[in-house]
Amino acid sequence: MSTERRSKQDRRRVSTRPLSRHSLLGRRKTARRQEEDSNYYVDRYEPRYLILISLILILCILDAYFTLRIIDLGGKELNRFMLVFLNTNAVAALVFKYLVTAVCIGFILEG
């Protein structure tokens, strides 16, 4: 006779989405059972990941700011793709650069 009382399929086969209520407010930080020592998913990310993500996004903003300052002082943008954005609208270039970085971080967290 089995002691297993659960009838539903294990919902933890898929990781928690990075932008969900559980990633900020979830309770589970580690596996509950000893036999779950590998391939387990938790509800929350560790605080060091929040710090790391914040640092990356701040550095992205600083990079965009310093790029605009260098261009104002006579420098040139060598990235042709960003040059098109900078020639049309500098704010659009900053937003685009930030969004690309943020989306890539989201993909990294999802994987």
Are 56 and 85 found together in one domain? yes
> Could you tell me if residue 2 is inside a domain?
no
- Structural domain span for residue 23: 10-45
Residue 26 CB: number of other CB atoms within 10 A? 14
pLDDT confidence tier of residue 82, bands split at 50, 70 and 90: confident
> Could you tell me if residue 5 is inside a domain?
no
In this prediction, residues 77-105 reach a mean pLDDT of 88
- The reply to whether the predicted model has a pTM over 0.85 is no
Q: Tens digits of per-residue pLDDT, 47-76?
A: 788 899 999 999 999 998 898 899 999 999
pLDDT confidence tier of residue 42, bands split at 50, 70 and 90: low
Number of domains in the chain: 2
Are 106 and 87 found together in one domain? yes
Are 37 and 54 found together in one domain? no
Q: What is the pLDDT of residue 83?
A: 87
